[in-house]
Amino acid sequence: MKYIDEFRRSDLAQGLVSQIQHRSRTPVRFMEFCGGHTVTIFRYGIRQLLPPNIEMVSGPGCPVCVTSNADLDKAIALAKIPQAIIATFGDMLKVPGSRSSLQQAKADGADVRMVYSALDAIKMARENQDRPVVFLGIGFETTAPTIAASILQAQQQGIKNYYVISMLKLCPPVIRAILDSGEIKLDGLVCPGHVSVITGSTAWQFIAKDYGIPCVVSGFEPVDILQCVAMLVEQVESERCEVEIAYRRGVQPQGNKEALKLMRQVFQPATASWRGVGEVPGSGLRIRDDYRQFDAERAFAIEPGETYEPKGCICGEVLRGVKTPLDCKLFGKACTPQYPVGPCMVSSEGSCAAYYNYARDADG
């Protein structure tokens, strides 16, 4: 597969590992913000290849993991609306809310359907005109424009039974909140690759400028991550602090103007609740009044019930990079991929799932 296989080449990976080992002297802690990067790092055993002075820590860039129990409970409550079809990305099905999960709701009789794209949800709306189709809008800036486009398309086609519940979130405000908390000291940030496709690399300028942390935007193949780490190491060793793009085939400084335009046309910033971080102003997206007829929260009165957080679950601290899954008392015992307590274990790119599946002990 073009533009995938080349960036998995062993010779290129080894070359970068060599360069990193030669150049890296200073003990550093780099955070990869994005859950997709966490998956690549674990799937390809990247941590093992890095010298011991480089510590990698995972951040909260997993839109499923950071969806609060309160929001999940809302989604589950929507599933109970008579005749409603809930369309959702696969990632959300098994995540436990306060009492239940979407998969559980499905087993109890709700019509919950997995889709790959918002376009599939629109198709369902067209084919079931007498039933409300509610699409769960989860994701960051990569996904938000696609959902904005789906709403505009529904409007264009005169579809009256398509709704979206927006649990969309924006990355820069939450990165700022984490850095402001002072809980964790970082020497470099592996910036999200596909969020940057939309926002452009300029979205991360404030991190270099206000916090003095070098930033490099990375792609998702193992060679991409290694190149990114090599560039962060280079910045640290030459005492520079900038925003650079390693993922040059995908990302430009200015991002995708058309996507940003559509996103801003349909959504406006709002306060959002991030699991483990709490409420962060301007970090969520809410459907604008002009498109209120597509907003599930305005269309339906739902009773999500009281919110409970699972006892002993430290997903919040893991998400902020302050603790690792190995620090959690429940990890591997009460909380496993089969019986997850928190979303970090359920989500395929949550830290805990990654640790459990790939990294318990690879000396076999």
Chain residues 190-229 in contact with another protein, contact rule CB under 8 A: 192-195, 197-198, 222-223, 227
CB of 223 to another protein, least distance (A): 7
Q: Residue 92 or residue 179: which is nearer to another protein going by CB?
A: 92
Distance in angstroms (rounded) separating the CA atoms of residues 202 and 188:
16
Under the binding rule (CB under 8 A), the answer on residue 108 touching another protein is no
Using the rule CB under 8 A, is 347 a contact of another protein?
Answer: yes
CB 318 within 8 A of CB 344: yes
Please state, in angstroms and rounded to a whole number, the distance separating the CA atoms of residues 234 and 282.
34
Judged by CB under 8 A, the residue of 55, 258, 279, 290 near another protein is 258
Three-state SS at 279: strand
- Provide the 10 A C-beta neighbour count for residue 180: 10
- Residues with Cβ within 8 Å of 176's Cβ and at least 6 positions away in sequence, in order, are 206
Polymer length of the chain: 364
Among positions 98, 146, 205, 324, the unique one binding another protein when judged by CB under 8 A: 146
Smallest gap from Cβ 362 to another protein, in A, equals 5
Residue whose structure tokens are 């989860």: 138
| Part of the chain binding another protein (CB under 8 A), chosen from 29-37, 232-240, 277-285, 307-315 | 29-37
Give yes or no for residue 153 binding another protein (CB under 8 A): yes
Q: How many residues bind another protein (CB under 8 A)?
A: 88
Stretch that binds another protein, among 208-216, 296-304, 311-319, 342-350 (CB under 8 A): 342-350
Residue recorded with tokens 């916090």 = 211
Expressed in angstroms, the distance from the first to the final Cα of the chain is 31
| Contact call for residues 202 and 309 (beta carbons, < 8 A) | no
Near another protein by CB under 8 A: residue from 94, 100, 276, 328: 94
Minimum distance, C-beta of residue 271 to another protein, in the bound complex (Å): 21
